[in-house]
Amino acid sequence: MSLPFEPPPPYDSSRDGKTFNKDETINIAVFGSTGSGKSTLINLLTGANFGVSSELQSCTQNVSITEKVNLDGRLYRFIDTPGFDDTDRSEVEILKIIAEFLGTHYVQGASIHGILYLHRISDIRMGNASRRSFRLFRKLCGEASLRNMVIVTTMWNRISEVEGERRESELRQDDKFFKPIIDEGAIMIRHDNTFPSALQLVKFISEHPKYPVPLAIQIELITQGKQIVETNAGRELEYELQGLSQKHKKELEDMLEEHKRLVADRDRRERDEMAEELAQLRSDLTRVTNELNNLQVKVEEDFDAERMWKRMSREARVITMFMRSQGGGAQQSPENLRFWAALGDTTRAAKKLSSLFDRHPMPSELQDNLFNYSKNSFNIPGRINKELGQWVRTQANDVKSMEKVMEKVVHNASKPKKRGILALWFG
């Protein structure tokens, strides 16, 4: 396969330990969970004003790259990436954003000389979500890049020195955490949120140079021509989402059985509490189902979702929105798959739709009929379509609100998009 560009040269171990050229700009990519201090660190080093997030809300909305900055006579450029636990967007969307940037960066012939992965030492434990994000990050980077990686522990001011040292030791020595990558050449350094500490991190990369190698996802996307879902990172995310989906489905089945028992026992208080838990669980299952679909389905360039939406009857629109909000059987319809894939990430829209449907739920018999008939097609029998029409007329205001949510999504999806280098190469 011939490439329309000159990629960075392959790894040459004989270059390891040799000083980078004085005029060479050292590119450092900064990864980590939301609120781990990525933007704060970059602001310290550059004097720039990247947004700073709390632990609850992400501020790095896209991949950002700084201007060149001179630190102790060396030129550096920093790449700020959103965390996979971003508060506003799904893991699938974050992976696509990072992959698009890294692919373009590779096409332009630029190297990544070092990787900083930030982790809050103040976290009581490295939970499932954090470990999942780190596994995904590791698949994205690949094994060869570990030797250019620095694990940076942050937020030392939030815990005692003794507790911090205990957690640091656990992270270094436990196979579930950072031990495997430290064994492969990564190092761990503390950062105390001061400029000298930040400078120590980047000087370690420039003063202990390892010849830069492309990240795994760059090779997979560009050299090997894979789709994102076919990359190691894509497969890892698909595996994780499938596991979450099965877990949520089992929890939902168990909770529904318990809810039936409470209804039979007429235990209203516990039943109402469980109803809230059921709504949250359905929302979680919907989110995971939507993410899987967005990862697995390749959008057809000529599929006109806006035209399809405009041609739908109100009843057909309600079916489409209802099935998406429930994360249910309509995902099996190829036409429905193409429609939602063309709209991109609709996680937030699905949550809004779910809330509107919860406000005035459909009769359970009507819901069951929609699930049963929507698994294979949207050719709903006349009797059921009539029942749906009655519900639509009864809840006219909510249906209008639903349509407004969808019209915004459809409109945004139909806007002409810039075709980046990846799109031009693979499109």
Asked if residue 157 and residue 37 are part of one domain, the reply reads: yes
Of the candidates 171, 200, 223, which is a domain's last residue?
Answer: 223
Share of the chain above pLDDT 70, in %: 78
- Residue carrying the six token digits 């911090």: 164
What domain range is 278 assigned to? 233-296
Judge whether 52 and 43 are in contact, CB under 8 Å. yes
Helix axes 314-326, 268-296, angle to 10 degrees: 100
Cβ atoms within 10 Å of 85's Cβ, excluding its own: 17
**pLDDT score of 334:** 56
Q: How far is C-alpha 232 from the geometric centre of its chain's CA atoms?
A: 15
Alpha-carbon gap, residue 372 to 362, rounded angstroms: 15
Same domain, 17 and 57: yes
184 and 275 inside one domain: no
Name the domain boundary from 245, 278, 296. 296
State the pLDDT at residue 41: 94
Within a domain: residue 55?
Answer: yes
Q: Identify whether residues 173 and 272 lie together within a single domain.
A: no
> In the chain, how many H helices and how many E strands?
17, 7
190 & 237 share domain:
no
- How confident is the model at residue 267, as a pLDDT? 64
Token pair, residue 43, equals 């602001």
Does residue 259 sit within a domain?
Answer: yes
**DSSP secondary structure letters along 70-94:** EETTEEEEEEE---TT-SSS-HHHH
Residue 27 maps to a domain: yes
In a domain, 314, yes or no: no
CATH number for the domain that contains residue 203: 3.40.50.300
Does residue 207 share a domain with residue 101? yes
Residue 338 placed within a domain:
no
Residue 345 lies in a domain: no
Residue 189 lies in a domain: yes
- Do residues 197 and 269 share a domain? no
Q: What is the DSSP letter of 158?
A: G
- pLDDT reported for residue 416: 59
Choose one of 176, 196, 223: the last residue of a domain: 223
Are 154 and 63 members of one domain? yes
Q: Is residue 177 domain-shared with residue 46, that is, in the same domain?
A: yes
Ranges of the chain whose pLDDT falls below 70: 1-22, 49-61, 87, 209-211, 263-268, 271, 296-303, 327-338, 341, 345, 372-382, 415-427
Say yes or no: 265 and 182 in one domain.
no
Q: What is the pLDDT of residue 257?
A: 81
Per the structure, how many domains does the chain have? 2
What phi and psi, each to the nearest 5 degrees, are found at residue 82?
A: -75, 150
pLDDT, position 252: 84
Q: Is residue 257 part of a domain?
A: yes
| 241 and 219 fall within a common domain | no
Q: Which residues pair with 150 in a beta bridge?
A: 116, 187
Are 285 and 145 members of one domain? no
**pLDDT given for residue 329 in this prediction:** 42
